[in-house]
């Protein structure tokens, strides 16, 4: 498996994540091109972001799994007035993506996105900054 497409971006992440012992495997996998999260071993619910406690049945019996590289664009918003760290990027889009295993996540959309893309396929991306990775998504081009 070659992993998620990687987009090189200049500089450091605007708000670098705080990495804990629990979330370190997530960030290391993302750096390696894999989007991962946790799945409850009791009821099967996949959480995003990763959790060490199941949000459905409260079990602590969770395991890491690889998430799908593709999802469906549920919604998006275009940001014109941004926090200072993102001023150079406006306007940009933030999407809500439903991954095939169930989790719904919010992330930066790269490239063109418009209402015609709603309910359409998106591909997850690694946004590779100098100080580490973040994740994003882009609309899949029709083939
Ligand atoms: Zn559970």
Q: How many Å lie between the centroid of ligand 1 and the Cα of residue 53?
A: 8
Which residues contact residue 6 at a Cβ distance below 8 angstroms, ignoring those fewer than 6 apart? 33, 125, 126, 128
Residues within 5 A (CB) of ion ligand 1: 40, 42-43, 45, 54, 56-57, 59
pLDDT of residue 2: 67
95 and 135, same domain (yes or no): yes
74 and 134, same domain (yes or no): yes
114 and 72, same domain (yes or no): yes
Q: How many Å lie between the centroid of ligand 1 and the Cα of residue 10?
A: 39
Average pLDDT, the chain: 94
Query: How many domains does the structure of the chain reveal?
Result: 2
Q: How many Å lie between the centroid of ligand 1 and the Cα of residue 62?
A: 8
48 and 88, same domain (yes or no): no
pLDDT of residue 87: 83
Q: How many Å lie between the centroid of ligand 1 and the Cα of residue 140?
A: 32
Q: How many Å lie between the centroid of ligand 1 and the Cα of residue 24?
A: 22
Q: How many Å lie between the centroid of ligand 1 and the Cα of residue 45?
A: 6
pTM of model > 0.75: yes
pLDDT of residue 105: 96
Q: Are strands 121-129 and 104-109 parallel, antiparallel or unpaired?
A: unpaired
Whether residue 1 has pLDDT greater than 60: no
Q: Compute the distance between CA of residue 105 and CA of residue 141 in angstroms, rounded to an integer.
A: 21
First to last CA, the chain: 21
50 and 73, same domain (yes or no): no
Q: What percent of the chain has pLDDT over 90?
A: 85
In a domain, 9, yes or no: no
Q: How many Å lie between the centroid of ligand 1 and the Cα of residue 42?
A: 5
Q: How many Å lie between the centroid of ligand 1 and the Cα of residue 56?
A: 5
| pLDDT tens digits, 16-46 | 899 999 999 999 999 999 999 999 999 999 9
pLDDT of residue 143: 63
Q: Compute the distance between CA of residue 25 and CA of residue 12 in angstroms, rounded to an integer.
A: 20
**Which tops the pLDDT comparison, 43 or 84?**
43
Half-sphere exposure of 122 (CA within 13 A, CB side): 34
Domain holding 37, by residue range, is 19-67
Both tokens of 45, joined, read: 């619910």
């Amino acid at each position: 498996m070659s992993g998620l497409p990687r987009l090189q971006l200049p500089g450091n992440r605007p708000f670098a994540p705080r990495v804990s012992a629990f979330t370190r495997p997530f960030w290391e996998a993302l750096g390696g091109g894999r989007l991962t999260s946790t799945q409850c071993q009791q009821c099967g619910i996949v959480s995003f972001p990763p959790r060490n406690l199941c949000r459905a049945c409260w079990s602590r019996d969770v395991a890491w799994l690889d998430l799908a590289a593709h999802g469906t664009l549920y919604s998006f918003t275009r940001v014109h007035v941004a926090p200072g760290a993102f001023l150079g990027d406006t306007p940009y889009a933030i999407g809500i993506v439903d991954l095939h295993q169930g989790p719904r996540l919010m992330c930066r959309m790269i490239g063109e996105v418009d209402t015609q893309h709603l309910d359409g396929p998106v591909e997850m991306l690694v946004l590779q900054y100098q100080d580490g990775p973040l994740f994003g998504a882009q609309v899949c081009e029709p083939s």
